Structure 1
Amino acid sequence: MRSPIHETNDALPIVILGGGFGGLFTALHLRDLHSCPIILIDQSWSFVFKPLLYELLTSEVKLELICPRYDQLLHNSGITFVLGTVEAIDLDQKQVELDSGLKYSYRHLVLALGSTTSYLGIPGAKEHTRLFRTAYDVFALAQHLRNRLQIATQTEDITERLALLTVVIVGGGASGVEIAATLADLLPTWYIPLGGNPEEIRIVILQRGDDILKESTSDRLRETAKSALKGRNASVEVLLGSEVKEVHPGAVEFERNEQQWRLAAATVLWTTGNATHPVIEALPIAAENRDKRDRLLVKPTLQLPDFPEVFAAGDCAIDPSNPQPATAQVAYQQGAAIAHNIKALINGKSPTPATVNLRGMLMKLGMHESAVEIFDRYEIKGQLGQAIRLSTYLEFMPTPARNFVNRTGWFAEEILKQIARV
């Protein structure tokens, strides 16, 4: 099938694959470029503000804020949104094919497809665990947990009831710790009105390594997180050195201290194991231009070494000279840098290295509470930390995305509520 836009090179579009932080904000920063069309392709109708999915679970913020539709965010921007799943990329022919059969030739291509979940070859992990990556995951988890709490109130057998009230979280990285702290505060608020005893609720983190948050935070923030986990409304246990061997319906088998353990749990959350997107993995890129995780190595300008018309950002790429964590604040700054360099190339100028300024770490540590470490110097926690975390994420959203949020008034309202509690 011929591309809908397939004429001279100057008339070909900039095609952006993936509407996450990197892809969406590349598009938004290109919206004033009128010399060629811009196409954003994503497999979902809505953007997902993943750092705030915890607030969606706890109803601290509204769905419309966390998952605004692309047609709302891109309204009057001149950017074309295409709903579709990328099937293949032909780098030599400069063409993208979707599962629908549509093909798009491009002048410049932006790869921002993110990562997928790896279950590390563990039997039963895919079938019997839950993810926390989308709004659907959040609502499905909430329904599941409420159902288990209801059943627990009508279960007299103590062993069966405790299994219903046990949540196992595989992975002690930032996502695992944040969801553990959130659930430890949230579940008692759901269980007590049912007549349940919150002391029976058990949250267990299974961490393979010798510490939590080993690679994602500073020592100070790690200690803050450990302290926060101990002060929640329900019990949170961290079992270090625990290697999951198999997941069954209602139970997890793991090895710890050279012993085999079986933990009965009605809910198992999977927060570890990121894998390179299959489309990125299938690209004919030489091994020397990939890292050990199969991510694409890019130049400081975020271009592919052998394909300068192709840029990559976020989870699917890494600049070996300046590696950055896979966080929202990095991806949105990379989006701005890619847009700047595409404009430079179109105007006959040279691209410049991307500059990423890490403002600090933002971590959700319970309902209405967060810890914020600013520029590796200052740490603010509790309710004020939550207010700063929310306002910082708002700042990540450039116009027109930020304008959309401001028009709703929801975000400002939530920040004021947080500050009022301090």
Structure 2
Amino acid sequence: MDTNLPVTSQPRIVIIGCGFAGLRLAKDLADSPVQVVVIDRNNYHNFQPLLYQVATGALEADSIAYPIRKIFAGQQNFFFRMADVERVDTGRNTVVTNIGEIRYDHLVVATGSLTNYFGLDSIERNAMQIKSIPNALNLRSYLFQNFEKALLTEDPAQRQALLNVVVVGGGPTGVEICGSLAEMRKDVLPQDYPELDLKQMEIYLVESGEEVLGPMSKDSQVQAKQYLEEMGIHVRLNMKAQRFESGKLYYSETEYIRTENLIWAAGVNGAAVEGLPEAAVARNKRINVDTVNRVLGFQNVYAIGDVANMVTEEMPRGYPMLAPVAIQQAEQLAANFKRLFQGEALKPFKYLNKGSMAIVGRNRAVVDLPGNKHFGGFFGWLTWLFVHLLTLVGFRNKVVTLVGWAISYFSSDKALRLIIRPYKRNDFKDDKGKSSAQHNASTPQYNPSVPTPTASVVGG
């Protein structure tokens, strides 16, 4: 029991996950008379907003990750265990992990989110996602491997599929990776692949809604779409992906876009842990909490960040799954723990919206501020860079990222075009560790023996 954690008379707060929420909560409890135990499957904190830059070769992976133990060096009440959480046993106040059981007095679930494929099995099997550093490195390798294959094939249709990139999802992640790919097509790939006619490379942004950047202002939506189209990206609104097979993304029974490079950025589910009662978990796998982030039905179990589903009159669908929400919930919960230990009443969470932003490309970004204030262009781009640089963990990461951005800006180059570990799509493992073979064995398959109807083709 307790995986060699020191015995303590102080309350033990166990935090599952060291993303934005878990990290901030653990830091804010530094001076509290508690024992803080963080459990994470990785030994580093991952700055997710910049994953797309790792995927497109603009940044090194270790410039957006920072060792958890180094972050908390010197915090006397902090302990870390690298482990996979298998389930929680709320009856015994215990977290069951692959390295043993850990007892808690108070449990905080801060596990974040997982990719939501909306039941589209062929897309889940074959599309690329960007939720982790391994995802980003796999995507980078896969893209460049396909460019290498495009050099060798003599089949024009196959070459077109290897060059085309389709990004599904018009939120900030989809918009940002499309912009980065367009810049790579313009400035980087012609140097590396002079034998390829890169005018044939088409980049599509597919969005099922009526606009890109749905949560942002109308001004930002219009301006971002204009930026994307100026960069040569085909923006397809009101288009729903239906299946992906044989190098074709179908958006109807007969119509498709030819591509081998499908990047899925269309939605997320909460990453709820096993062991909580069904009533505590919403349909989107987020955990239902009250206004102090306490899981419904429990007095000592909490959830914060993306996984927390806090429904209020102001937010009938729950708070958005954004880093600022996660950080503010962590800060409020830390303050509430201090009130709890002092016998004071807990205060409800209130979100302070400080604005939102998205970058499209060099000198192109959109920013929304409270009070219906909007700006974009070069000043918006500088604002995006400053905020993200400020938010990165670790002085070294800030310096490395700034230098990398400066080199990319002045040289129009992205030097990290390395296929360090070749990626095979059939070797894909999901967030639960299943290989694609294991996954396919338990999910419905599209029957290749069923004839495919005559199809209309987009993109060659």
Q: What is residue 376 of structure 2 aligned with on the other side?
A: 381
Letter in 2 for 1:205: L
**TM-superposed deviation, 1:160:** 2.4
Q: Does 1:405 align with 2:400?
A: no
Q: What is residue 140 of structure 1 aligned with on the other side?
A: 138
Q: What is residue 318 of structure 1 aligned with on the other side?
A: 309
SS at match of 2:95: strand
Mapped to 2, the partners of 1:407 and 1:119 lie a distance apart of 32
Q: Is the 8 A contact 2:227 2:364 kept in 1?
A: no
Mapped to 2, the partners of 1:120 and 1:61 lie a distance apart of 31
SS at match of 2:80: strand
**Cα distance change of structure 1 residues 131 and 417 upon mapping to structure 2, 3 Å threshold:** same
Letter in 2 for 1:313: I
Letter in 2 for 1:389: W
**TM-superposed deviation, 1:318:** 2.1
Letter in 2 for 1:142: R
Mapped to 2, the partners of 1:218 and 1:7 lie a distance apart of 52
Q: Which of 249, 252, 264 is the aligned partner of 2:249?
A: 252
Deviations 1:138-183 (A, max 9, x none): 2221122122223323444432222111111222233222212221
Q: What is residue 51 of structure 2 aligned with on the other side?
A: 53
Q: Which of 345, 348, 373 is the aligned partner of 2:343?
A: 348
SS at match of 2:23: helix
**TM-superposed deviation, 1:413:** 5.1
Mapped to 2, the partners of 1:381 and 1:61 lie a distance apart of 24
**Cα distance change of structure 1 residues 107 and 364 upon mapping to structure 2, 3 Å threshold:** same
Q: What is residue 432 of structure 2 aligned with on the other side?
A: none
TM-score, length of structure 2 as denominator length = 0.80
**TM-superposed deviation, 1:65:** 3.2
Q: How does 1:70-219 map to 2 (within 5 A)?
A: 70-78=68-76, 79-100=78-99, 102-193=100-191, 194-195=193-194, 196-214=196-214, 216-219=215-218
Letter in 1 for 2:151: T
Letter in 1 for 2:202: R
Q: Is the 8 A contact 1:180 1:203 kept in 2?
A: yes
Q: What is residue 26 of structure 1 aligned with on the other side?
A: 25
**Cα distance change of structure 1 residues 180 and 311 upon mapping to structure 2, 3 Å threshold:** same
Letter in 2 for 1:145: L
Mapped to 2, the partners of 1:166 and 1:420 lie a distance apart of 27
Letter in 1 for 2:295: L
**TM-superposed deviation, 1:130:** 0.4
Letter in 2 for 1:22: A
Letter in 2 for 1:387: L
**TM-superposed deviation, 1:112:** 0.6
Q: Is the 8 A contact 1:405 1:411 kept in 2?
A: no
SS at match of 1:27: helix
Q: What is residue 298 of structure 2 aligned with on the other side?
A: 307
Structure 1, gaps ≥5 residues long? none
Letter in 1 for 2:266: T
Letter in 1 for 2:347: T
**TM-superposed deviation, 1:223:** 0.9
Across the two proteins, how many residue pairs are aligned to each other? 404
Percent identical among aligned pairs is: 25
Letter in 1 for 2:386: S
Mapped to 2, the partners of 1:200 and 1:385 lie a distance apart of 31
Q: Is the 8 A contact 2:115 2:131 kept in 1?
A: no
Q: Is the 8 A contact 2:225 2:235 kept in 1?
A: no
**TM-superposed deviation, 1:50:** 0.6
Deviations 1:333-377 (A, max 9, x none): 111111111121122222212232121112121246432222253
Q: What is residue 283 of structure 1 aligned with on the other side?
A: 276
Q: Which of 329, 352, 358 is the aligned partner of 1:357?
A: 352
**Cα distance change of structure 1 residues 385 and 415 upon mapping to structure 2, 3 Å threshold:** farther
**Cα distance change of structure 1 residues 302 and 396 upon mapping to structure 2, 3 Å threshold:** farther
Mapped to 2, the partners of 1:5 and 1:12 lie a distance apart of 13
Q: Is the 8 A contact 2:50 2:64 kept in 1?
A: yes
SS at match of 2:129: coil
Mapped to 1, the partners of 2:190 and 2:138 lie a distance apart of 21
Mapped to 1, the partners of 2:230 and 2:371 lie a distance apart of 24
Q: Is the 8 A contact 2:224 2:365 kept in 1?
A: no
Superposed CA RMSD in Å reads 2.7
Deviations 1:89-135 (A, max 9, x none): 122321111022x1111121111111222322223212211011112
